Amino acid sequence: MNKNTAMQIDSPGRRAAAYWFVDGLPEILFGLFFLIPFALALASKELHWRNWWIRSVIIVVALLGYAMWFLHRRILSFLKARITYPRTGYVRPPIDFPSQNHPHYKILTLGTANPADDNVSSFVSHTIPLICSGFFFVSFLEARWGLPLVMTGIAAGIYFLSRNDARPYSWRAVLPIALVGFIAAALDLGQEDRLLVPMVIGGAWLLGTGTWTLVRYLRAHPKPNAGQEGRS
pLDDT at 115: 44
Phi then psi for residue 23, to 5 deg, are -100, 0
Name which residue leads in pLDDT, 34 or 3.
Answer: 34
pLDDT at 31: 94
Per-domain boundaries in the chain: 15-94+116-224
pLDDT at 204: 96
Question: For 123, which DSSP code?
Answer: I
Write the pLDDT tens digit of every residue in 97-147: 765 554 444 444 444 444 445 788 889 888 999 998 888 888 777 777 888
pLDDT at 213: 97
Q: Is the pLDDT of residue 70 over 60?
A: yes
Name which residue leads in pLDDT, 65 or 120.
Answer: 120
Phi then psi for residue 162, to 5 deg, are -100, 0
Helix axes 52-83, 25-43, angle to 10 degrees: 170
**Shortest CA distance to 144 belongs to which of 182, 101, 177?**
182
Write the pLDDT tens digit of every residue in 173-197: 999 999 999 998 888 777 778 888 9
Collapsing DSSP to helix, strand or coil, 75 comes out as: helix
pLDDT at 100: 52
Question: For 127, which DSSP code?
Answer: I
Whole-structure pTM value: 0.80
pLDDT at 146: 85
SS (H, E, C) 9-44: HCCHHHHHHHHCCCCCHHHHHHHHHHHHHHHHHHHC
Query: Residues 26, 14, 131, CA angle at the centre, nearest 5°?
Result: 35
pLDDT at 9: 52
**Shortest CA distance to 193 belongs to which of 183, 202, 184, 182?**
184
Say if residues 37 and 61 touch (Cβ distance below 8 Å).
yes
